[in-house]
Amino acid sequence: MSRSTFRRNTHMAISVSLALFMVHSNQVGIGIAGVQRFIYDRVQQDAWISVIIAGIMTHIAAWFMLKILAKFKDMDLYDIHQTVFGKWPARVLNFIFIVYIMGSALTILRGYIEIIQSWMFPGVPSWVLNASLLCLAIYGVTGGIRVLAGISFFSVGLTVWQLLLLVYPMQYADFHLLQPVFHHDLVELMDGAKKMSFSIIGFEIILFIYPFVKEKEMLPRYVHGGLFMTTFLYVAVMLVTLLYFQGEQLQHLIWATLMMMKIVEFPFLERFEFVSISLWMLIMLDNLLMNLWVAMRGVHHISGVKERMALIGIVGVMFFASNFLETRQSINLITDIFGGVGFYIIFIYPIVLYVVIRLFRKGAVRT
């Protein structure tokens, strides 16, 4: 959708308060189910400190993103690239972002399918789950930005209450497992934060929803509010994990959060982790929808293909790619690749772009 089209369709605008839910829900994905192991491998009992550092990094990166967006009127990142760099360099940069976004969506999709197959339905073929979830995604994305915002709101409301269930593993907490505190130097803590980065990114969605947000001057407070909620959630989960599991156990657990959910029991329900996995589908679907929406708009922007045709093409590519990722090693490999790339794209590139705009392209922006 072009900027002029957007101005003619003001009914597609969303309330600025919904940006909080879109940022938070797009950050909390499959990573919360098992990111603890990767951070613990780097900094052991100081893993919670690395999570806090990663959270601070998100606020810094978001500050640069918001400063860039504030310099342009009703533009998303795709338009900003074209304004700042020109047509062909912008196409290259936009293509890189599209590939990255599709890769992120692929890891989200495949990660959730692996959880379903490992915990609930081991006999269901991957292609069946792929097709089912991607069909839901097509239906949701074609609903537009307001549908995505509504799904984000409900996904947060229906899942954040699970934080209260952390009281169950806290009954067995051993606070000695957090000692000694600050046992690792800053370089090691930063390395742990980098491993956390792929699980806590997703707030870059603001670069693409910005043209649709009402009351843009209020956007920073809601973006940073969503980032704070996410950091608080991950710190809480990490602390409870460190207090509940011995280090040797945690190093061998793929889904540490789900393992903690296994001890939650009610008189009418024994396997509560099945409920959690089912509710996580809403979180996963919300992440998948927003990533596909961003990729669809990107393909339309650089090629001129109609958005629905672009969406069908993207979903087809993801369906076939996901069916090739059948082993834990292949899933880890693609997660590491896009996690490493994502660190530079989300945390480093906004700073570079901001500097370029400030120093070399003042005439192209609105001051």
The pLDDT, as a whole number, for residue 1 is 42
Does 9 have pLDDT greater than 80? Answer: no
Render pLDDT for 103-150 as a digit per residue (tens, 0 to 9): 888 888 888 888 888 888 888 888 888 888 898 889 889 888 888 988
Cis peptide before 125 (omega within 30 of 0): no
Average pLDDT over residues 241-258: 81
Q: Contact, 51 vs 234, CB < 8 A? A: yes
Spatial separation of the C-alpha atoms in residues 350 and 346, rounded to whole Å: 7
Does pLDDT of 241 surpass 50? Answer: yes
- Is the pLDDT score of 5 beyond 70? no
Q: Which of 137, 100, 134 is nearest to 334 (CA)?
A: 100
> Mean pLDDT over residues 73-99, rounded?
90
* Residue 355 pLDDT exceeds 80: yes
% of residues, the chain, pLDDT over 70: 94
Q: Quick one: which of 27, 34, 17 has its CA closest to 55?
A: 27
pLDDT number for residue 221: 92
Alpha-carbon span 166 to 169, nearest angstrom: 6
pLDDT digits (tens, 9 = 90+) for 10-35: 457 888 889 999 999 888 877 787 78
pLDDT(88) > 80: yes
Contacts of 129 (CB under 8 A, 6+ apart): 113, 116, 117
Q: At what angle do helices 87-119 and 328-343 cross, to 10 degrees?
A: 140
Delineate the domains of the chain, giving CATH numbers in brackets: 20-361 (1.20.1740.10)
- Residue 264 scores a pLDDT above 80: no
Per-residue pLDDT band at 361 (split at 50, 70, 90): low
In terms of Cα–Cα distance, which of 114, 18, 81 is closest to 361? 81
The mean pLDDT of 307-324, rounded to a whole number, is: 89
Q: Which of 5-19, 80-94, 175-189, 329-343 comes out lowest in average pLDDT?
A: 5-19
**What's the pLDDT at 227?**
93
- In Å, what is the CA distance from 29 to each residue of 17, 266, 277? 21, 26, 12
Over the chain, what is the mean pLDDT? 84
Find out whether 257 and 241 touch, Cβ atoms under 8 Å: yes
Digit-coded pLDDT (tens) for 53-77: 999 999 999 999 999 998 887 889 9
Q: Name the DSSP class of 14.
A: B
119 or 79: which leads in pLDDT: 79
Q: How many CA atoms lie within 13 A of 40 on its CB side?
A: 24
Band of pLDDT at residue 290, cut at 50, 70 and 90: very high
How is residue 112 written in tokens?
């959730």
Stretch among 22-31, 301-310, 320-329 having the lowest mean pLDDT: 320-329
Least confident stretch, 80-94, 98-112, 176-190, 293-307 = 176-190
Residue 33 tokens read as: 């189910």
Residues 6+ apart with CB under 8 A from 52: 231, 235
Average pLDDT over residues 291-319: 91
DSSP letters, 259-315, are HHHTT--BTTBS-HHHHHHHHHHHHHHHHHHHHHHHHHHHHHHHH---HHHHHHHHH
